[in-house]
Amino acid sequence: MKRLGALIMVGFLGLGVIGAEYTFYIVSHGGPGDPFWGVVMKGMQDAAEMLSKGTGDTVKAIYLGPAIYSIPELVNMLNSAIAARPNGIACTITDPAALDEPLRRAIGLGIPVIAINVPDPRPSAERIPYLFYVGGDEYLSGIKAAERMLAVRKPARAVVFIHEVGHVGLELRAKGFIEVMTQAGVPAEKLAIGTDPTQAVDIIRGYFSKYPDVDAIFTLGPLGTLPTVTFLKEQGLAGKVMLGCFDLDEVTLHAIEGGVALFTVTQQQYLQGYLPIVWLYLYNKYGFLPANDILTGPGFVDGSNVKMVAELIKKGYW
Amino acid sequence: MLSSPRSLFFWLRYHPEFGAIVGTVVVFIGFSLTATRFLTADSLASILTVVAELGIVSAGITFLMICGEFDLSVGSVLGTSAMIFALTSKAGWPPFVGFLVALVASAFIGLLNGVVTVKAGIPSFITTLGTMMFWRGILLAVTGGFPVTYFPKGLPFLFFVLNGCIAGQFRVSALWFLGLAGLLNIVLTKTRYGNAVYATGGNREAARMLGIATNRVKIINFVISAMLAGLAGCIQFARFFSVDPMRGFGLELEAIAAAVIGGTHLSGGAGNLVGTIFGVFLVGMVRSGLVQAGAPAYWYQAFVGLIVVIAVILNTSLRRWALR
Amino acid sequence: MNDRVPLVQMINISKNFGTVQALKNVDFDVHHQEVMGLVGDNGAGKSTLIKILTGVFPPDTGEIYFEGKRVVIRSPKEARAMGIETVYQDLALIPLMSVSRNFFLGREPVACFGPFRFLDKRKMDRVVLDVLSQIGISVRSPDEPVAVLSGGERQSVAIGRALHFGAKLLILDEPTSALSVRETHKVLDYILEAKERGLSIIFITHNIYHVYSVADRITILEHGRKVVTLQKSEVTAEEVIEIVRSGYNKKR
């Protein structure tokens, strides 16, 4: 009898030592092979590990994303996540119409939902009622990028090279940039350059021959940065034309290190994996909620921190 | 030769590239008038650089189309080849070795395309649609989506041979293009093999009955098409030193459009490289000309599409008129 | 012309395709300088017999003798090399290619420039114009695509091609079926002329009247077997039609 009591006591104590278990899902449109999302995954895993070590609880985080961009696949994966009745889901609202029903269902089932990387752009009365959004702000990124350039000097003319016309994120970045430039009295517009670098350089060259006074360029990703950097070097304009880039890749980093580019905008996507896990844990355990969306971007990498960032990229943090 | 309108009529029958030549000249003159710096050396050199890379791919595809087959995988081959060249360069291999490996890999992909199409009897449109997706998928998987960048100290000699600058902004790639297109045209129009290519595309059964090894012709042409696409990929890398896994995506349709504008029949059996050269020039200079003429940026796609359709309609009408 | 050693002899030929017996124990021969009609209803085995003779596939049983010697024909190329040429209705010429290229397809004359061999276009054009004028066809240029020739002209060019390249046996598969009356007569005349110049011809058709007008002998096949071979002198066209329609009755 005493032994049984002792065993029961140990059992309860054990439960106290083991603590609670939390499972969180990140469901995103980004595939497991994409290096951008690789960083998000690392943030997610690091957060889960740190929480599990630091508290008495076990925190598990699982990443789901289709290998090839596909909204139907994304919805399927989301539904699997919901069926597992996790303690929280962080989801990219890549297609609000398609994700509306499953996410509302999840919320109805009492699963806390956070939006990451892509918010629902609809007004708050209409949009999916997720708790809050963790991610960059494309429009703000464009604004801040333009402000950074204007802080260096007011250019005679600015242009945004857009490599994928119609891509909502890119268009928003361009919009923010052009609005700020225009307000400052700088003529600014978009130029569609496409994704083939040889054709892009030719288009850029044609534009420059028409507007030789262009001295500020904003590219919206590595696909735009490569032809731009090549063009500037081949024409001897490197350093004379202000260049702001987007996202991190070797070419962009090299350009910043070499003084060809002033900065690159980053959305610090590590935080888009890390923070949702932390917040979902805090919300589940203590009911804490941030007052507003959490913006992980725009962040900037420029001459002042490029070396540090280059090292951290190798470790998977940037 | 062209002593009378009637002679023109007949001359047109033997020269399907006529429409492309006229179209290219007209568009060229048009841009020269509306875009002030279109006729400068810089501008022409830049257009020629675009034309060279597209043209190398288009030349290979033309050669294949004439024998009656398609290769939709050229974009993926270009990307794969460039990526191999990039990865080997980055790993420290001598550039020439990496280049050869890339070309051999391209030849292998072409061989696979050819053997599957011919032995399994599947339309090449389908086979190469499949391999286009397959190799693109491999490319994405192997690189993990990362672009691969190589920073050489100084320009390796092979890179110069492939795509170096000579005479201002003019590049060696133009010589590769014109040389290869010219060589293929000579083979096509002046050798026995060329006759076999036309026959295979014109009527495969008839050619086979007459003793032409049609399967061999097709497989060889698949290899040529893929190798030229692979070459173009390496040439491009030799200038940009960086390859992303989506490199070359969508290239196949432009290459085929240039060939068709140049008078190559979609169903095979007719066409030549001279037409393709002009077709590529037309497609290559449209974007550049539109930018320089100040057309609204978002209209390029629409204009390029419109020109392609008009060019093909003109060509087909000319052909029908000449055969009346 | 009946001779003791036929130009080609096919003895005891049988061919199966799965469960279908296309040919069973067929004996078939053609003499030198002879027009042999090969007739029979659909499914009789005519095209199978010809495909065996031209090397498209081998027979299951039987032997083939050409000019008295036993031969094994493994491909159309081998058949062609032996002197057996075929003119299939739509497969004789390639419409998009020029007359000149078509004429010499597979046997183009070449001129050498060092290690390179290029088509000898001048020779090709010269020969083609020569042959065409012999046949009686006029074209603006040998570069004209075959598509500009009429059906009858195309048949004649194909026959002229066989003659030029020294074919010994020419197989015509439905040469007159798509032609007008006038064109048919031109082609039939040319067939006789080809025979005068030493060519033997196998004439396959459904039109008994056409083949009857030029044939020396006629072989009738039915359901994979040879029904009979008749000399033109021993039978009328109507009688041949009757045999094809309802079978052969030896007592007449």
Most C CBs within 10 Å, among B188, B189, B209, to test the C interface: B209
Interface of B with C (CB under 8 A): 10, 13-14, 186, 190-192, 194-196, 198-199, 201-203, 205-212, 265, 269-270, 323
Give the closest of C80, C92, C145 to B206, CB-based.
C92
Mean pLDDT of A12-37: 78
Min distance B57 CA to chain C CA atoms (Å) = 25
Q: Which residues in chain B have their CB less than 8 angstroms from residue A192's CB? A: 297-298, 300
- Confidence band, pLDDT 50/70/90 cuts, at residue B324: low
Rounded distance, CA A126 to CA A133, Å?
15
A222 pLDDT more than 50: yes
| Interface touch B195/C108, C-beta < 8 Å | yes
Q: Which residues in chain A have their CB less than 8 angstroms from residue B39's CB? A: none
Q: What range does the domain containing A150 cover?
A: 138-266
Max distance between CA atoms of chain B, in angstroms, equals 64
Question: What predicted TM-score, i.e. pTM, was given to this entire model?
Answer: 0.87
| Interface touch B144/A250, C-beta < 8 Å | no
Q: Which DSSP letter does residue B165 get?
A: B
CB neighbours of A224 closer than 8 A, spacing ≥ 6?
A: A161, A162, A163, A193, A200, A245, A246
Q: Write the DSSP assignment of C11-62 as a string of letters.
A: EEEEEEETTEEEEEEEEEEE-TT-EEEEE--TTSSHHHHHHHHTTSS--SEE
Q: Is residue B214 part of a domain?
A: yes
Q: Which residues in chain B have their CB less than 8 angstroms from residue A229's CB? A: none
Chains that touch B (3 or more CB pairs under 8 A): A, C
The reported pLDDT for the residue numbered B52 is 97
A44 pLDDT more than 60: yes
Q: Which residue of C has its CA nearest to B212?
A: C106
Min distance B256 CA to chain C CA atoms (Å) = 20
| Interface touch A207/B291, C-beta < 8 Å | yes
Chains C and B share 3 or more Cβ pairs within 8 Å: yes
Q: Please state, rounded to an integer, the average pLDDT across all residues of chain A.
A: 92
Residues in chain C, pLDDT under 70: 1-3, 248-252
Peptide bond into B5 cis (omega under 30): no
Q: Which residue of B has its CA nearest to C56?
A: B209
- In CATH, what number is assigned to the domain containing residue A105? 3.40.50.2300
What 3-state class would DSSP assign to C4?
coil
Interface of B with A (CB under 8 A): 35, 37, 40, 42-43, 46-47, 49-50, 53, 137, 140-141, 144-147, 149, 151, 169, 236, 239-240, 242, 244, 246-251, 287-289, 291-292, 294, 297-298, 300-301
Q: Please report, for chain C, the start and end positions of each structural domain, with discontinuous segments joined by +.
A: 8-87+168-173+197-246
- In CATH, what number is assigned to the domain containing residue B156? 1.10.3470
Give the closest of B186, B192, B206 to C94, CB-based.
B206
Min distance A31 CA to chain B CA atoms (Å) = 9
Q: Are B279 and B270 in contact (CB under 8 A)?
A: no
Q: H helices of B164-299, where?
A: 172-190, 192-202, 204-209, 214-240, 251-261, 273-293
Mean pLDDT of A223-250: 94
A204, amino acid identity = I
The reported pLDDT for the residue numbered B233 is 97
Rounded distance, CA A150 to CA A142, Å?
12
Most B CBs within 10 Å, among A202, A208, A234, to test the B interface: A202
Rounded distance, CA B212 to CA B188, Å?
15
Give the CATH fold of the C8-87+168-173+197-246 domain. Rossmann fold (3.40.50)
Give the closest of A201, A205, A251 to B242, CB-based.
A251
Q: Is residue B109 part of a domain?
A: yes
Q: Write the DSSP assignment of C90-157 as a string of letters.
A: TTSS-TTSBHHHHHTTTS--EEEETTEEEE-HHHHHHHHHHHHHHHT---S-TTSBGGGS-HHHHHHH
| Interface touch B211/C104, C-beta < 8 Å | no
Q: Is residue B306 part of a domain?
A: yes
Same domain, A209 and A122: no
Residue A209 — left, alpha, or beta (φ > 0 → left; ψ -120 to 50 → alpha)?
Answer: alpha
> Hey, how many other C-beta atoms are within 10 angstroms of the C-beta on B35?
21
| Interface touch A206/B43, C-beta < 8 Å | yes
Q: Is residue A243 part of a domain?
A: yes
Q: Is residue B34 part of a domain?
A: no
| Interface touch A192/B240, C-beta < 8 Å | no
What 3-state class would DSSP assign to C75?
coil
Q: What range does the domain containing B142 cover?
A: 18-27+39-322
The reported pLDDT for the residue numbered B295 is 79
The reported pLDDT for the residue numbered B311 is 79
Q: Is residue A70 within 8 angstroms of chain B, CB to CB? A: no
The reported pLDDT for the residue numbered A261 is 97
Q: Is residue B116 part of a domain?
A: yes
Q: Which residues in chain B have their CB less than 8 angstroms from residue C145's CB? A: 13, 323
| Interface touch B242/A226, C-beta < 8 Å | yes
Total structural domains within chain B: 1
The reported pLDDT for the residue numbered A35 is 78
Total structural domains within chain A: 2
Min distance A119 CA to chain B CA atoms (Å) = 24
| Interface touch A33/B145, C-beta < 8 Å | yes
Q: Is residue B217 part of a domain?
A: yes
A33 pLDDT more than 70: no
Q: Is residue B167 part of a domain?
A: yes
Tens digits of per-residue pLDDT, B135-194?
999 998 888 777 899 999 889 999 999 999 998 889 999 999 999 999 999 999 999 999
The reported pLDDT for the residue numbered B2 is 47
Same domain, A42 and A90: yes
The reported pLDDT for the residue numbered B4 is 59
| Interface touch B288/A206, C-beta < 8 Å | yes
Same domain, A69 and A169: no
Q: Is residue A306 part of a domain?
A: no
Chains that touch C (3 or more CB pairs under 8 A): B
Q: What angle do CA A92, A95, A99 make, to 5 degrees?
A: 75
Give the closest of C90, C117, C140 to B10, CB-based.
C140
| Interface touch B14/C143, C-beta < 8 Å | yes
Select from C202, C212, C211 the least CA-distant residue to C168.
C202
The reported pLDDT for the residue numbered C251 is 46
B310 pLDDT more than 90: no
Q: Which residues in chain C have their CB less than 8 angstroms from residue B204's CB? A: none
Q: Is residue B300 part of a domain?
A: yes
Q: Which residues in chain B have their CB less than 8 angstroms from residue A206's CB? A: 43, 46, 288-289, 291-292
| Interface touch B43/A34, C-beta < 8 Å | no
Rounded distance, CA B246 to CA B75, Å?
9
Q: Is residue A299 part of a domain?
A: no
Tens digits of per-residue pLDDT, A265-286?
999 999 999 999 999 999 999 9
Burial class (CB in 10 A: 0-12, 13-18, 19+), A97: exposed
The reported pLDDT for the residue numbered C252 is 43
The reported pLDDT for the residue numbered A12 is 55
Rounded distance, CA A147 to CA A149, Å?
5
| Interface touch B37/A36, C-beta < 8 Å | no
| Interface touch C98/B205, C-beta < 8 Å | no
Q: Which residues in chain A have their CB less than 8 angstroms from residue B289's CB? A: 206
Q: Is residue A201 within 8 angstroms of chain B, CB to CB? A: yes
Mean pLDDT of B99-127: 96
> Hey, how many other C-beta atoms are within 10 angstroms of the C-beta on B114?
28
Q: What angle do CA C29, C31, C35 make, to 5 degrees?
A: 95
Tens digits of per-residue pLDDT, B11-62?
777 787 888 888 899 989 999 998 888 999 999 999 999 999 999 999 999 9
The reported pLDDT for the residue numbered B146 is 77
Tens digits of per-residue pLDDT, C38-91?
999 888 889 899 999 988 889 999 999 999 899 999 988 889 889 999 888 777
Rounded distance, CA B234 to CA B173, Å?
11
